[in-house]
Amino acid sequence: MLRFRLSVLPACLLLAASILSGCSSTTKDVTAGWTPDRIYKEARDEVNSGAWDKAIGLFDKLESRAAGTLLAQQAQIEKAYAQYRTGDKVQAIATLDRFIRLHPTSPALDYALYLKGLVNFNDNLGLFSFITRQDLSERDQKAAKESFESFRDLAARFPDSKYTPDARQRMTYIVNSLAAYEVHVARYYATKGAHVAAINRAQQAISDYQGVPAVEDALAILVTSYDAMGMSALRDDAKRVLEKNYPRSAYLQGKAVQKTSSWWKLW
């Protein structure tokens, strides 16, 4: 019996020690006695100091403590901005989508749409990877199109919003960027001798983005690709369209299709 009791005693002590250790390691919620207003103030202080992760944690607490109030809505929208600033674009979009779904009459809805467009707009830098000689045929335009949709929704629903003028400028930039992207992909195919693919992408740029600067380049690609394939009738048709719409085009002076040096500098 004595042997049994000696063998059990250390196990009991270890169990008690682990329980005490667990209790001591439990993180204390310093906001437990705070009012929602104080939590918001502290969160704003963290924002102002650039401590975005800490601000996100406080906004999370405020959402639950002030549920159903305008302050909770404010916390949610500011949390989305903080997530955006940390580079967590996926969570920022998820937070904004939830806000838009749950608060369709919120006075901050126009800002939510603008911020959603802005998150995806910054992600559009992926479109410009051709500058680093990345394979253009593998790029994804999803973020650019989603950004455009958010800005267009904002402009349609809130034409007088203070965010709408900037959104309209960004919409123009996105359209020009998407058109130029199609042209650069078409040019990529043309340089590889894949003239059918080049023609398809150039035609897509012309049909989807009428009136943008990149259309001139797209028409020139059609001319050279049809010529390379020996399709003289289609080549001449494309050249006539180029002459009618861009009578002073450098391409009509016998210059080869070449990369435009600064198409992205639109502002």
Please tell me which residue, 43 or 128, carries the higher pLDDT value. 43
| Residue 231: predicted pLDDT | 96
- Tens-place pLDDT, residues 168-208: 999 999 999 889 889 999 999 999 999 999 999 999 999 99
Query: Which residue reads 């253009």 in tokens?
Result: 136
pLDDT band of residue 123 (cuts 50, 70, 90) is: low
In the predicted structure, residue 7 carries a pLDDT above the cut 70:
no
Which pairs from 71-74 meet CB under 8 Å and 24+ separation?
71/36, 71/37, 71/40, 73/99, 73/103, 73/106, 73/108, 74/40, 74/108
**Whole-number Å distance between alpha carbons of 11 and 166:** 68
The percentage of the chain sitting over the pLDDT mark of 90, rounded to a whole number, equals: 66
User: What CATH class has 125-253?
Assistant: mainly alpha
Dihedral sign of CA atoms 44, 46, 48, 53 in order:
negative
Tell me the domain boundaries of the chain: 38-88, 125-253
- Tens-place pLDDT, residues 75-95: 999 999 999 999 999 999 999
Q: What is the 3-state secondary structure (H, E, C) of 192-214?
A: CCCHHHHHHHHHHHHHHCCCCCH
**Whole-number Å distance between alpha carbons of 147 and 38:** 35
Average pLDDT of the residues in 102-123: 92
**Whole-number Å distance between alpha carbons of 178 and 113:** 21
The contacts of residue 141 (CB under 8 Å, 6+ apart) are 127, 178, 181
**Whole-number Å distance between alpha carbons of 82 and 78:** 6
Tell me the average pLDDT of the chain. 83
118 CA to centre of own chain: 7
**Model-level pTM?**
0.73
Average pLDDT of the residues in 46-54: 96
| Residue 259: predicted pLDDT | 45
In the predicted structure, residue 230 carries a pLDDT above the cut 90:
yes
Tell me if 44 sits within 8 A of 71, measured CB to CB.
Answer: no
| Residue 32: predicted pLDDT | 85
